[in-house]
Structure 1
């Protein structure tokens, strides 16, 4: 028997605290109805505080409103009422109660803190800030006010100011655990990953069984590229909280980056079982199967991602690549076209479409796709080269030559571009230009000379070719 089981067995002999509270509330209700409030105030206050702690909101409000009815100048009762209304999400009523409390006791720091929280919830940012600063005027080292100021700035992505206040809290009380946690988040948000990890470690010194802290530390380690330590963090996180789908997902990410593809599949499969409608999980599972060369399962997972989100551009593109790999070219082309419809200016989708069209003999369509690519990225010499080759295939030698010239202009050391231009020049009977380009190609890559001689034996026998290629001009 483990300790947890033993603790639960011992609990069977304990009284049910919830049942006790219900009995006390019933007794308090009867006291109020019988008009016996004055003689039972201490008991009623105890029941009120327990009601707040146990979230018995309506019951607590009934008690506090009756207490206020007979002692309307008790700031404590107004503070209790504000807390209960805040828990009920009645922020306007809650704010009025806290303001009444503070009017009766201007130095009530607890009420000022509560008021600032309600003001923040209502979007009254300036007022919330004033309330917190008022607390610090009264108690300059009030760690709760400093902590709440940190949260105030953190929620507004002002992480530098948030860090300043969280560190002030920790100077006052190093064991203020939540400040370490929030400090870790803030440092991570400004990409100071080393400090983030140190802060999470400090938090874990106090709270070693926090699944979210292990998880957040793991995320920081992934961003730092330390996948092995990240893996350890996510394993601890899911050991503490078995149904933590995000931790299973990122455990899969860590395993995949470590090359542990089988383990990555296991982790991601668990994540998909816990959260079957998260398209990102299915997408990454598909990528992992693709890395394992299990293309059918990859297609299945990408299809699931698309079923959940039919606007998932990356899933269409990845599934299209898988269809291409197994020879289902028309399905691949359909996916590439879907990807382009979703993200018209995607270079990856247009490139995949162009290359597939070229490979299945749809040369004219591939030319249109390559032209779109050079419009999107005119500085890509490789695409200009492919466009030149496609033009060559359909006998459009002028445009082919122009494309080769673009390629050479972008990458003057591309021997194959000079060779392609030379072939076009020969076809256009521009012998001198052809020989010039051949010389450049052979100089950049001597192996091309042998290949060219094999492909064009009739040119090799030409005396002009021999003289010019060898650089022997008259």
Structure 2
């Protein structure tokens, strides 16, 4: 209801604003423009283009209309066409920095990084306190290998908008990619101080601690587990509600990710049974993920529990073949991980002389990897 009411308020405002205008075409143009903006916000770019084209046909000299059309085109990955619309907006109003920022992003998408940076610099010259322009420039610089320069631009963005979480998040991710884990943790600590109830920042901090830790650094793994436990506490997840609402379904997916990360740490600490229990919880909460199943199977095999290793993968035989890549993509694994795990399952079945299941898993393995040497040797 509130959205409908807000839309009506917008349209009433438009009619009131243009009540003295003889030509109603400007009213109609503004209505189509606002519809296009809202459609862009929900990524409905084709419908947005229909509306914004109506607006432009009625009032072709409004730069915001061309800017909005450019956003729609860029959303559809029509970057060259988007650049043309940004240029039209700039030709009408050359002093709006947002037009140059948008054009810079589109230029970068077409492989014109140097031209993109020059265009962003023009935006910055027009609005030197525009934090978004520095953030966009940082991303373009980083994607083109200028990592240190990118971090400096993020620092400028943060200096003008220090509470914007996206700038800290992106800077932390870039620092992790540069193996600058200590500095990344500082960014996550800043985010946690600004938004102490956001569980994702604790989870990201935990992941960064793990990335930094040496393979035998028990202290760091325990620090990471503390962050994961804090994230789980903040999520306040109740299993009985996991499928009752979309919000709880989304929360369940996040909880499964955090549990998986915690289980990895427990595994590193040698707490294998605890790790298996946590992986099992992750698997039960998000049944679409395959990575917990793969990890459990590997751990059972390493423990010599071949029967359990073969049983845990049993449900894989029930999946349609086209389901499997999506299930792999949902978690932290790829098809190659699954193939390796199937080889382990086949060996487990051989250890316990379960020829029937060997045949079933061999057939599934050949569906995924027709040239697999182990599977072909057993046919």
| TM-score between both structures, scaled by the size of structure 2 | 0.68
Matching residue within 211, 226, 232 for 2:226: 232
Q: In structure 1, what is the Cα distance between the partners aligned to 2:48 and 2:69?
A: 8
Alignment check: 8 A CA contact 2:113 2:144 kept: no
Q: 2:377 aligns to what?
A: none
Q: 1:134 aligns to what?
A: 122
Matched, 1:21 2:14: no
Q: 1:248 aligns to what?
A: 259
Instruction: Please give the root-mean-square deviation of Cα atoms over the aligned residues, in Å.
Output: 4.3
Structure 1 residues 313 and 45, CA gap change in structure 2 (3 angstroms): closer
Report deviation, 1:99: 1.0
Matching residue within 72, 96, 99 for 2:87: 99
Alignment check: 8 A CA contact 1:302 1:318 kept: no
Report deviation, 1:304: 6.8
Matching residue within 101, 111, 118 for 1:123: 111
Q: In structure 1, what is the Cα distance between the partners aligned to 2:347 and 2:145?
A: 39
1:48-74 Cα offsets, whole Å, 9 max, x none, are 655554556566545543443343332
Q: 1:404 aligns to what?
A: none
Q: 1:299 aligns to what?
A: 310
- Please tell me whether Structure 1 or Structure 2 has the larger radius of gyration of its CA atoms: 1
1:323-370 Cα offsets, whole Å, 9 max, x none, are 6876899x99xx9xx9xx9699xxxxxxxxxxxxxxxxxxxxxxxxxx
Q: In structure 1, what is the Cα distance between the partners aligned to 2:76 and 2:8?
A: 19
| TM-score between both structures, scaled by the size of structure 1 | 0.56
Q: In structure 2, what is the Cα distance between the partners aligned to 1:203 and 1:217?
A: 10
Matching residue within 177, 183, 197 for 1:189: 177
Matched, 1:111 2:99: yes
Report deviation, 1:37: 2.2
Q: 2:151 aligns to what?
A: 163
Give 1:28-177 correspondences, 5 Å limit. 36-38=24-26, 49-50=37-38, 52-53=40-41, 57=45, 60-156=48-144, 158-177=146-165
Alignment check: 8 A CA contact 1:283 1:305 kept: no
Report deviation, 1:232: 2.8
Report the count of equivalent residues. Answer: 324
Q: 1:394 aligns to what?
A: none
**Structure 1, unaligned stretches of length 5 or more?**
1-14, 345-474
What is the DSSP-based 3-state SS (H/G/I as helix, E as strand, rest coil) of the residue aligned with 1:98? helix
Q: In structure 2, what is the Cα distance between the partners aligned to 1:209 and 1:155?
A: 31
Alignment check: 8 A CA contact 1:271 1:281 kept: yes
Q: In structure 1, what is the Cα distance between the partners aligned to 2:300 and 2:306?
A: 7
Report deviation, 1:181: 0.9
Q: In structure 2, what is the Cα distance between the partners aligned to 1:154 and 1:301?
A: 42
Which structure would you say has the larger RCO, counting Cα contacts within 8 Å and 6 or more residues apart? 2
Q: In structure 1, what is the Cα distance between the partners aligned to 2:192 and 2:109?
A: 30
Q: 1:315 aligns to what?
A: 341
Matched, 1:205 2:216: no
Report deviation, 1:234: 2.7
Q: In structure 1, what is the Cα distance between the partners aligned to 2:157 and 2:207?
A: 25
What is the DSSP-based 3-state SS (H/G/I as helix, E as strand, rest coil) of the residue aligned with 1:243? helix
Structure 1 residues 70 and 42, CA gap change in structure 2 (3 angstroms): closer
1:176-201 Cα offsets, whole Å, 9 max, x none, are 32121112112212222221111112
**Structure 2, unaligned stretches of length 5 or more?**
236-250, 325-334, 375-379
